[in-house]
Every structure is written in C-alpha cells, then in structure tokens.
Amino acid sequence: MKKSFITSLRSVGMAALSYALVAGSPLAAMAKPLTVGFAQVGAESAWRTAETESIKAEGTKRKVNLKFSDAQGKQENQIKAVKSFIAQGVDAIIIAPVVETGWEPVLREAKRAKIPVVLVDRGIKVSDDSLYSTLIASDFVSEGKMAAEWLAKKVNEKASIVELQGTPGAAPAIDRKKGFEAGISKYPAMKIIASQSGDFRRSGGKEVMEALLKKYGNEVTAVYAHNDDMALGAIQAIEEAGKKPGTDVVVVSVDGVKGAFEAMVSGKLNCTVECNPLLGPMAFDAVEQAIKGEKLPKKTVVQDKAYDQSTAKDVIASRQY
C-alpha cells in the first residue's frame, strides 16, 4: 500500500516535471510557428536575389514567421537589424554577413539572449566560434582555384589578367582572390596586371573594366571576375571598346546564374564556377536543430563545379537560378 502510494506520487511528479520541461523547452517552441530574423546583405547580384528567394520560400513552406532585412550592402544596417531581431525576441537569426570582421559585440548580445545564429553563404572572423551555431557556405578558395585552373588550360598558361574583385572585406572577395592567386602561381606567364573592386555589381564591373581597358588596351587578354554580375558588366565594356568578349578577351567568373549561362551560350563568357545560392532548406534545417540544442558542424561546405561553353547549352534549361 505504502509502496504503491509512493509509486503514484512519483508518476505525478514525473508527469509534472515532463510538462514543465516541455512547456518551457525548445520542444514547446517547436510546436508554435517559429519566428526567425534574416539579415541579408542586399540585392547586389542575381545570385543574391536567388538566395533571398530560396530562404523566403523555405520559410513559407515551413510556416515560419520570417522577418527579413535588406542591409543594402552595409554592415552597420545588418548589425541594426540583428539588434532589432534580438529586441523582438526571435527564436533564431540567419545572417549572410556583408564582411568578415566586426561581428563579435552583436553576436555576444544574441548569445546572451540565447538566440542561435546560423550563418549562410559568407564566413566571419571571431575569436570565439561559439558565437554562432553553424556556417553553410561554399569553399570560395576552391572556387578561385577552379577558375584559375580552367583559365590556365584555356590560354595555354599565358595571360595578362584583369581581376574584378567583390566587396572589400567580404569572405568571397578575400578567398576567391586567394584561391585564384594560388591557382595561377604555378604558371609564371599568367599575371594579374590590374585588380580592382566592382562591389559584386554589374555596374561596378562595367565601370572598372572601362577604365582598365582605357589604361591597358590590348594588353588585357583575360578577365577573372569574382561574380557573374561583374563579368556581365565587363563583357558590355569589352564590346563597347570594340572587342569580342569570349574571343579577344577570355572571361571567367563565379556564381553560375542564368545570365552567365546565356552569355556562355552566346560565346561571350567562357566559364563560370557555380556557387549554389539555394540555401533555404539547409538553413532552416540548421535553425531547427540549433533551437533543439543539437550540436551542429561548425561549417557545412556546399559543393561547386565549373561550367563552360561546351556544356552550357545542355544544362541551361535545367538551371534553377
């Protein structure tokens, strides 16, 4: 009798305990729609728009209350957005960081508020990597190397190259430069004769290319652009200078957007190294796992591959962005 009384007391206690655990726990949070803040870089390129659409679409599919912020290319706007997400008490924050540095203070605020942060597409430099849950991104160094290798083969290891860099301080600009330089270092006759930022924008690529063509003229035999939008701008500048892009000047870039495939089909762009922007499903998987307190890998690398004119026609119809 005494024993069964104690047993029932125990079960009531266990039930109350599990209710308390569930009610105040991530499980309870999972039951109601999640509220997630997404601090996006901006809309500087077709790639960026594809990434935004992927995250918005996946959020809708999972019935997430998504708070979207476009930082218009400015880190200060992103930091403001993250602070506002924290003040609103969101369940998690996704950030595609404009630049690599300057994140520690705001990430500490998020950590203090126990809000997990998932980084997408671009990495950051912090002294304490517990400030974010995970990063889902391509390997930009390897993209730069792939572009270099492809170009070396195309030009028989000899070229005077104009490099169009992305946004200064951004992980893809830093790492695509590093990877490309490492890639061409094996070929003494492949030289970067000029390297300037076009800020990942088509207009930036065009302006920089116009100026560099005026300065270097026929000396330029190849262009390496850190993204397709700048390559497409450069192609316009090359045509306006009376040259044939893809023939007089070999053009190689990174991203793999539809416009790049169209330019390859028309013979104006020679090669693009794909960088997949369709990160929505992976980002929300990570958000859900982080909220549940699961341990995530510090980085998940998205696999990329190079496409050139020889395959562009066959794959263009199946491109999703």
| Nearest approach, Cβ of residue 320 and ligand AHR (Å) | 15
Q: 237 vs 254, which CB is nearer to ligand AHR? A: 254
Q: Quick check: 195 and 224 in contact, CB under 8 A?
A: no
Look at residues 217, 220, 96 and name the one whose alpha carbon lies nearest to residue 155. 220
Binding segment toward ligand AHR, per CB under 6 A, in 45-53, 82-90, 156-164, 210-218? 45-53
Question: Is the C-alpha dihedral spanning 304, 270, 53, 40 positive or negative?
Answer: positive
Q: 160 vs 270, which CB is nearer to ligand AHR? A: 270
Query: Is 55 one of the binding residues for ligand AHR (CB under 6 A)?
Result: no
Binding segment toward ligand AHR, per CB under 6 A, in 43-51, 185-193, 205-213, 214-222? 43-51
Q: Which of residues 63-92 bind ligand AHR (CB under 6 A)?
A: none
> Which residue of 36, 37, 38, 48 would you call a contact of ligand AHR, by CB under 6 A?
48
> Which residue of 255, 274, 288, 304 would you call a contact of ligand AHR, by CB under 6 A?
255
Integer Cα distance of 233 and 123 in angstroms: 26
What does the per-residue mask of binding to ligand AHR show for 175-204, with x meaning CB under 6 A?
Answer: -------------------------x----
Q: 165 vs 270, which CB is nearer to ligand AHR? A: 165
| Nearest approach, Cβ of residue 161 and ligand AHR (Å) | 18
| Nearest approach, Cβ of residue 259 and ligand AHR (Å) | 11
Q: Going edge to edge, which strands form the sheet with 35-40?
A: 65-70, 35-40, 92-95, 117-120, 134-138, 299-302
CA distances from 300 to 2, 55, 119, 139, 219 (A): 56, 17, 10, 10, 41
Q: Which of residues 223-242 bind ligand AHR (CB under 6 A)?
A: 227, 229
| Nearest approach, Cβ of residue 58 and ligand AHR (Å) | 18
| Nearest approach, Cβ of residue 128 and ligand AHR (Å) | 23
> Which residue of 81, 254, 271, 286 would you call a contact of ligand AHR, by CB under 6 A?
254
Query: Is 121 one of the binding residues for ligand AHR (CB under 6 A)?
Result: yes
Q: Which of residues 17-36 bind ligand AHR (CB under 6 A)?
A: none
Q: 42 vs 160, which CB is nearer to ligand AHR? A: 42
Q: 199 vs 288, which CB is nearer to ligand AHR? A: 199
Which residues here bind ligand AHR, judged by CB under 6 A? Answer: 44-45, 47-48, 121-122, 172, 200, 227, 229, 254-255, 275
